[in-house]
Amino acid sequence: MGKVAVGAAVVCAAAVCAAAALVVRHRMKSSGKWAQAISILKEFEEKCGTPISKLKQVADAMTVEMHAGLASEGGSKLKMIISYVDNLPTGDEKGLFYALDLGGTNFRVLRVHLGGKEHRVVKQEFEEVSIPPHLMTGSSDALFDYIASALAKFVATESEGLHFSPDRQRELGFTFSFPVRQTSISSGTLIKWTKGFSIDDTVGQDVVGELTKAMERTGLDMRVTALVNDTIGTLAGGRYNNPDVVAAVILGTGTNAAYVERAHAIPKWHGLLPKSGDMVINMEWGNFRSSHLPITEYDQALDAESLNPGEQIFEKIISGMYLGEIVRRVLCKMAEEAAFFGDTVPAKLKIPFILRTPHMSAMHHDTSPDLKIVAAKLKDILEISNTSLKMRKVIVELCDIVASRGARLSAAGIVGILKKIGRDTVKDGEKQKSVVSLDGGLYEHYTKFRTCMEDTLVELLGEEVSNNIVVEHSNDGSGIGAALLAASHSQYTEADES
């Protein structure tokens, strides 16, 4: 009996020891896994580093590429497209102007009543129309007829006092946010459709010609006086409100920049120099690339698997379309190699683009002591529950690394533009203000991104210079901007003044 009891006690003790050893091993394993997860994060942070010295190299590279793109077609990854906009609005514009903004599955029609210096924008009305999916892959005539008839309906709602004199044609600014080869202020051929559109018979055609023919078929007497993209619209809207605006940057789903260049500084421009001496350049800066950009293995994989590998490299590290996806890819590696979320990799985490930048922003801005917004987002989007506070803190840190890199590189890009136009230094006794108009959901809604970008500008330019540099939010600049450009390029402006 005693022997059995002793034996049982020995077995029991052995079992306890084994269990304890298992716990210790488990702890060691989990602390080893945790250390591995943290080392993945730290290595990523190091590769994303944007010290001021690096940002200055990026800004210089942007300036160099701008020069190259202006010197010759295809001379740089930056297209530096001549927009033919040589008259930005001044505030003196008067009359009733229309705008059509086509950039995705919806389009907007706008009517703006301008009252000159005294009254500015007297009245602004707009209507949003969604495009039926079958028209996005149908014929060119069908799409433009649909747009023209919506425009005609909108024109029919003009209020009594605003009717045009019979001898005066209505004028329209057309914001068309697809790749176009601009041939004049009011013409441009479609290079290719994007964003889900696929209408072969429009490619290679003048989009203004297509719209004009459709308006004629609809019986609408209207003339397109300016064809622009959304970035140039934002620049025009910004300049109308502030004569010191020199550039516009869109930071949204995608990113782009446009600025005012001196016409004589564009070697590839072979036409007559415009009277104003200025020319707006659409940089297409999303396509910027440089050996100085901090590119990680995650960015390389994202690019390789994208629809346009090797293109839009700058956009893929700074814009709203991609920031959340970069976070997902790092989390995925931490889950696969360091069992960050337990022994199995959460299935949802493997789905590309499931983690969108607004989700990332919500987690990044979580100020609750237990980070409950982070917990809720992980549960709702990725179906990951029971995370520890320690894990949630790591995720916030990851969001911060990705957003800071994007914001700081955006600031470097802006400094590159300011350098190109000589606004990055203070000249003796000069107090010239330089205003950059910004628009886009990323800039508008992702507060930490915006603050980081603005702080980095000060860091790069220094206190004295940055006192003269202003970043202004130009809300919906692109819509009203097209109407303002229709006004500043009106066929009647000179006749009215003479």
Whole-number Å distance between alpha carbons of 392 and 372? 9
Whole-number Å distance between alpha carbons of 54 and 497? 51
Indicate which residue of 195, 350, 379, 393 is catalytic. 195
Contact 187, 209 (CB under 8 A): yes
Phi, psi of 131 (to 5 degrees): -95, 125
Contact 106, 175 (CB under 8 A): no
Taking residue 353's Cβ as centre, other Cβ atoms within 10 Å add up to 11
Contact 78, 311 (CB under 8 A): no
Active-site annotation holds for 230: yes
Active-site annotation holds for 370: no
Indicate which residue of 86, 230, 299, 439 is catalytic. 230
Distance of CA 55 to the CA centre of its chain: 20
For CA atoms 199, 225, 160, 90, the dihedral sign is positive
Query: Nearest-CA neighbor of 363 among 329, 332, 401?
Result: 401
Which residues touch 223 (CB under 8 Å, ≥6 apart)?
169, 170, 171, 172, 212, 491
Contact 169, 223 (CB under 8 A): yes
Contact 93, 488 (CB under 8 A): yes
* Residue 20, both tokens: 């304890």
Whole-number Å distance between alpha carbons of 129 and 455? 39
> What's the Cα-to-Cα distance from 327 to each of 47, 262, 324, 353, rounded to whole Å?
14, 41, 5, 10
For CA atoms 384, 390, 394, 400, the dihedral sign is positive
Contact 190, 204 (CB under 8 A): yes
Hey, which bits of 234-374 come out as E strands?
245-251, 255-262, 278-282
Output DSSP code: residue 206: B
Say how many residues make up the chain: 498
Query: Nearest-CA neighbor of 224 among 236, 212, 213?
Result: 212
Annotated catalytic residues are: 195, 230
